[in-house]
Amino acid sequence: MLYAKIKADQLAARKSKETLKISLLTTLLGEAGTSGKEAAPSDESVIAKILSFKKKIKETIDERVKRGVDISEQEAELAILNEYLPKQLSDAELKDLIESFISEKGLNSVKQMSMVMGYLSGQFKGQFDGNLAKEMVLAALSD
């Protein structure tokens, strides 16, 4: 299970005194963890929490770039989090999936965007950038 792997990696980071990794994984475990004596959280819920963390870190990076502040720590955090996510679809793979679904279903209106996004989220959750997918779907449906 993913939660157990993160916990083991946190312990290893403590032993090797990797302060950034310790801090990030401790916070992640606290956010993703369960209360009481329940079983460990599902991989899906841990992945959702990791994606939430990534989104917040990307927002921080955008703000820091605007202010001209160093973003190396945030980039390191993203690299750590990416270790726990499923393999990400390449831009080309994502575009192919979108185009094939649109042609297979005969979609031709931007109003049908939710069908495409629902398909992607259902089949490939956590494996693509939602904003990029949204842009690609809009482009494909407005042609």
pTM over 0.95: no
Summarised one tens digit per residue, pLDDT across range 76-128 is: 999 999 999 988 899 999 999 999 999 999 998 999 999 999 999 999 987 88
Structure-block tokens of residue 2: 């993913």
User: What amino acid occupies position 77?
Assistant: E
Residues 133/120, Cβ–Cβ less than 8 Å: yes
Mean pLDDT over each residue of the chain, to the nearest integer:
91
Binned at pLDDT 50, 70 and 90, residue 21 comes out as very high
- Percentage of the chain lying above the pLDDT 90 cut: 71
